[in-house]
Amino acid sequence: AQSVTQLDSQVPVFEEAPVELRCNYSSSVSVYLFWYVQYPNQGLQLLLKYLSGSTLVKGINGFEAEFNKSQTSFHLRKPSVHISDTAEYFCAVTEPGYSTLTFGKGTMLLVSP
Amino acid sequence: DVKVTQSSRYLVKRTGEKVFLECVQDMDHENMFWYRQDPGLGLRLIYFSYDVKMKEKGDIPEGYSVSREKKERFSLILESASTNQTSMYLCASSLPGTALGYTFGSGTRLTVV
């Protein structure tokens, strides 16, 4: 069975600072990995995904994530955050051929001036 | 712009009522999903459907049922609403498989009093 662990429920950071949101997954086979963002009172929006190939994946709004198979991690990074990045971020995993995604519990990114 | 539309943003219902949450997508997607989102618990899958009239239980189907009579519409039914079903409900759709991820609706915040 797949599972996702987001290690931090909340990450406070100052504007223009770098940030890393951590995600670890458990799966015994090859995986697809996703990061979604949820702005207040909205649904989830896809930030980026890893299917295969290069382990460094670039997404929208300046975010990127690195797939590390040996550490079963898929951490999300941004070199300089903005106030507008304040949102909840969800990591998700699935396996090729599956129909459903398994989501982590979310990390709330709080950016302050 | 492709869309998943949930008919209500906010709903307040009484305990014991039968509640219908409606979701419509305009992307001709085969797969549709219902999740509930609760603070600290992330997204949990209630039911999904991979074709008209087909449905599969997710992780927390108790107290819920679904209906998919047309490809574009997927309804979540609370047979007899209870206060522990107060939550944010998110609908999503996707093409077969999960490589492209999901497209989410904006959510319905249901309060059962």
Each of the 113 residues of chain A gets a pLDDT tens digit; together they read 789 999 999 999 999 999 999 999 997 678 899 999 999 888 899 999 999 889 999 999 999 999 999 999 999 999 999 999 999 999 999 888 777 899 999 999 999 99
Among chain A residues, CA nearest to B51: A99
Task: Tell me which residue in A9, A41, A49 faces B101 most closely, judged by beta carbons.
Answer: A49
Would you state the structure tokens that stand for residue B101, as one six-digit string?
């991820």
**Average confidence (pLDDT) over B67-77:** 96
Task: Tell me which residue in B50, B56, B106 faces A43 most closely, judged by beta carbons.
Answer: B106
B104 Cβ contact partners less than 8 Å away, ≥ 6 residues apart: A36, A43, A44, A45, B4, B90, B91, B92
Cα Dmax for chain A? 44
**CA atoms B68, B46, A102, A61: torsion sign:** positive
> What's the pLDDT score for residue A41?
82
Distance CA(B78)–CA(B94), nearest Å, equals: 23
Q: In angstroms, what CA-CA distances link A90 with A46, A59, B11, B62?
A: 10, 14, 25, 24
In the sheet where B19-25 sits, what is the strand order? Answer: B4-6, B19-25, B73-78, B64-70
- Give which of A27, A99, A108 to mutate to test B binding, by max B Cβ within 10 Å: A99
The torsion angles phi and psi of B21, rounded to 5 degrees, stand at -110, 125
Distance CA(B22)–CA(B18), nearest Å, equals: 13
Distance from CA of A52 to the nearest CA of B (A): 10
Contact A32 B40 (CB under 8 A): no
